[in-house]
């Protein structure tokens, strides 16, 4: 069993989830509460990874991360290393690829919060950021949990983007899905089977635990 | 009566002259003396729209809202956001934060206040709003009346300079309404915060208001103390809004402002109102009128006596509403005691007794 690949997958999924929640909360809040017409365009862009084949997305990310793009060059000048075929590059691709899985549950949850409460917050002299932290997020716990679980699960399961952007460097960009693919290509069905089973079991445990908390343990999360 | 001219900036006054969707309303209210201004009108008149514009929850299309000389909104670039207006709002549905307890709700608007001071302030306003010691209660567990009190406490906690209450008693039963009405009035007096209360309820308007702004169809039709609005509505629409039972079109008699012709019937008016040429609205309250047997009463200097025919008799809770045809439709409220001595079957000929003081002549409402 390729423990190294499992480690990479889990690290990648955790980091992606953490980064995405930081990005997706303000983004979803803006989308939920803005009155700007072009918000639909932003929404469409966020949803793009749902319809684009991973190879297409991977291709664009690869080009954007490469040293021929301004961003790739800036990264190389600042850090001294390239983004393509590195864990950092894989993380960037992963964040983009899983964006809709974080934004959409949050957007749905935020949109479900009674506008009247936000108006009450405003007339009580509080800023929107304060209302987001004190009112919207606490009332959107289920949406937050869904966003985190879906992002995590989706990242663990991604394959095409990883192959395009990360390549297959053990301990760096070689994730479980790629490891399984390699094993099958090498007719090593035994390793492929064991790694797959481990991934399956792990995913099932994580999902079950999360749904259990959502369904029965909300009391654990409620303040006092 | 929409001719409240655009006012220059004035200290201690809220000047409103706003246009927003179908609403085009102008009025002013003092910010320095505690008092209740009732924003009164039938549903759909635009009352909530006015409240929302004043709170800063909606931008006006045009016009101006100015508080204490500071421009709040001019429909253009000038805009003070809701959170900087220091306005306390009691929403129709309370809008308490469901995941916070009572103390957290009330303390929500208390910024940068040390913990002990905040706790003291919360206890103080809860006490003032007659829900003392409710700090740790959950919002879900509050009754309608308690939720209303807590919402009021939350609005008062940050010491607003203006309170806006949107139909504050909706969803409460009649006894609770009556009790809260009295409490609210006393509380507003005590705290010294001027309040604008939206209501379509006539009893509430009379019980709460020091002044009344009558909003109908998005326009301000009259600004007066409630008693004046109810006794002397400015026009036919206001008369209908305050529940005048009979509103008919009449014509002032030429050369005599003290008389008005309604169809073939001439009525003498108690307080002559000149200066209204042509058609006027003649308003009568059913409770002011009486019925007598045909020929038993003579008109005198206080009373009109008009021959009429009974068209219908409707029983109300304590009284009888008798509908008459006196050349124009007329409604009259009688006690059961008075009704017993009269022939009131439909079709019977009687006399309608109309005190001169009960005949109110108002302008025909501008049709805009």
DSSP string, B270-290: SS---S--SEEEEEE-GGG-E
Contact present, B86 and B143 (Cβ < 8 Å): no
Nearest to A122 among B82, B86, B88 (CB): B82
Interface confidence, given as ipTM, is 0.79
Q: Which residue of A has its CA nearest to B93?
A: A116
Q: Which of A212, A103, A89 is nearest to A154 (CA)?
A: A103
Contact present, B106 and B154 (Cβ < 8 Å): yes
The token pair at A26 is 């303000």
Interface with A, mutate which of B58, B101, B109, B153 (most A CBs under 10 A): B109
What does the alpha-carbon distance between residue B117 and residue B136 come to, in Å, rounded to a whole number? Answer: 17
What does the alpha-carbon distance between residue A123 and residue B53 come to, in Å, rounded to a whole number? Answer: 12
Which of A111-115, B228-232, B329-333 comes out lowest in average pLDDT? B228-232
What does the alpha-carbon distance between residue B72 and residue B55 come to, in Å, rounded to a whole number? Answer: 10
pLDDT tens for residues B180-238? 888 888 888 888 889 999 998 888 888 888 899 999 988 988 898 988 888 888 888 88
Nearest to A138 among B57, B91, B99 (CB): B99
Q: What percent of chain B has pLDDT over 70?
A: 94
User: According to the model, what pLDDT value does residue B40 have?
Assistant: 92
Burial class (CB in 10 A: 0-12, 13-18, 19+), B95: buried
Burial class (CB in 10 A: 0-12, 13-18, 19+), B136: exposed
Q: Which residue of B has its CA nearest to A128?
A: B83
Burial class (CB in 10 A: 0-12, 13-18, 19+), B162: buried
pLDDT tens for residues A21-58? 999 999 999 999 888 888 889 999 999 988 988 888 88
Contact present, B121 and B157 (Cβ < 8 Å): yes
Top pLDDT among B211 and B69 is at B211
Q: Which residue of B has its CA nearest to A120?
A: B95
User: According to the model, what pLDDT value does residue B262 have?
Assistant: 86
Spatial strand order of the sheet with B36-40 comes to B70-73, B62-67, B13-20, B23-30, B219-224, B211-216, B36-40, B195-199, B162-166, B87-90
Res. A133 pLDDT band, cuts 50 70 90: very high
A198 has pLDDT over 50: yes
Nearest to B109 among A117, A126, A138 (CB): A126
The token pair at B182 is 């009295």
Contacts with A121 from chain B: Cβ below 8 Å: 108
Residues 6 or more apart whose Cβ sits within 8 Å of residue A44: none
Q: What is the CA radius of gyration of chain B?
A: 25
Contacts with B109 from chain A: Cβ below 8 Å: 124-126
Contacts with B87 from chain A: Cβ below 8 Å: 123
Q: Other CB atoms closer than 10 Å to residue B166's CB: what's the count?
A: 21
User: According to the model, what pLDDT value does residue A145 have?
Assistant: 86
CA distance B181 to chain A (A): 22
Contact present, A162 and A175 (Cβ < 8 Å): yes
Q: Which residue of A has its CA nearest to B153?
A: A124
- Please indicate whether, in this complex, the C-beta atoms of A114 and B87 are within 8 angstroms of each other: no
């Amino acid at each position: 069993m390729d423990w190294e690949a499992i480690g990479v997958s889990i690290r990648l999924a955790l980091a992606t989830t953490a980064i995405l929640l930081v990005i997706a909360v303000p983004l979803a809040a803006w989308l939920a509460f803005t009155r700007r017409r072009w918000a639909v365009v932003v929404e469409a862009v966020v949803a793009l990874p749902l319809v684009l084949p991973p190879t297409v997305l991977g291709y664009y990310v690869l080009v954007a991360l490469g040293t021929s793009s301004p961003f790739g060059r800036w990264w190389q000048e600042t850090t001294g290393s390239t983004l393509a075929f590195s864990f950092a590059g894989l993380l960037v691709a992963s964040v983009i690829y899983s964006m809709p899985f974080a934004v959409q549950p949050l957007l749905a949850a935020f949109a479900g919060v009674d506008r009247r409460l936000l108006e009450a917050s405003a007339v009580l002299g509080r800023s929107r950021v304060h209302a987001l932290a004190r009112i919207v997020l606490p009332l959107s716990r289920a949406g937050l949990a869904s966003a985190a679980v879906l992002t995590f699960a989706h990242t663990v399961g991604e394959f095409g983007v990883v192959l395009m952007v990360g390549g297959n460097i053990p301990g760096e960009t070689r994730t479980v899905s790629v490891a399984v693919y390699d094993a099958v290509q090498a007719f090593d069905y035994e390793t492929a089977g064991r790694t797959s089973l481990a991934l399956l079991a792990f995913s099932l445990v994580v999902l079950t635990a999360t749904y259990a908390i959502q369904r029965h343990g909300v009391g654990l999360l409620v303040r006092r | 009566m929409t001719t409240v001219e655009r006012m220059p900036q004035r200290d201690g006054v809220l000047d409103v002259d706003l246009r927003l969707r179908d609403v085009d309303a102008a009025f002013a209210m003092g910010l320095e003396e505690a008092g209740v201004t009732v924003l009164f009108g039938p549903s759909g008149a635009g009352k909530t729209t006015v409240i929302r514009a004043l709170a800063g929850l909606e931008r006006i299309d045009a016009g101006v809202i100015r508080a204490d000389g500071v421009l709040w909104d001019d429909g253009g670039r000038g805009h003070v956001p809701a959170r900087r207006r220091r306005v306390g709002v009691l929403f129709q549905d309370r809008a308490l934060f469901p995941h916070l307890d009572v103390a957290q709700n009330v303390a929500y608007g208390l910024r940068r206040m040390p913990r002990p001071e905040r706790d003291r302030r919360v206890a103080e306003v809860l006490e003032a709003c007659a829900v003392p010691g409710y700090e740790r209660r959950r919002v879900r567990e509050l009754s309608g009346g308690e939720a209303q009190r807590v919402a009021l406490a939350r609005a008062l906690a940050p010491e607003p300079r203006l309170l806006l209450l949107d139909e504050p008693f909706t969803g409460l039963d009649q006894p609770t309404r009556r009790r809260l009405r009295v409490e609210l009035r006393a509380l507003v007096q005590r705290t010294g915060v001027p309040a604008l209360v939206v209501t379509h309820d006539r009893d509430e308007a009379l019980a709460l208001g020091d002044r009344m702004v009558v909003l109908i169809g998005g326009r301000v039709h009259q600004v007066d103390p409630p008693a004046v609005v109810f006794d002397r509505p400015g026009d036919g629409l206001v008369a209908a809004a305050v529940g005048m039972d009979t509103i008919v079109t009449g014509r002032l008699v030429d050369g005599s402002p003290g008389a008005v012709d309604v169809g073939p019937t001439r009525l003498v008016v108690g307080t002559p109102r000149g200066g209204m040429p042509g058609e006027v609205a003649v308003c009568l309250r059913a409770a002011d009128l009486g019925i007598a047997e045909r020929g038993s009463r003579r008109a005198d200097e206080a009373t009109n006596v008009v021959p009429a025919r009974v068209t219908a008799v409707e029983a109300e809770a304590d009284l009888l509403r008798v509908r008459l045809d006196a050349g124009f439709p007329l409604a009259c409220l009688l006690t059961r005691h008075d009704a017993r001595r009269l022939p009131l079957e439909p079709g019977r000929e009687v006399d309608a007794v109309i005190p001169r003081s009960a005949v109110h002549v108002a302008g025909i409402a501008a049709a805009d």
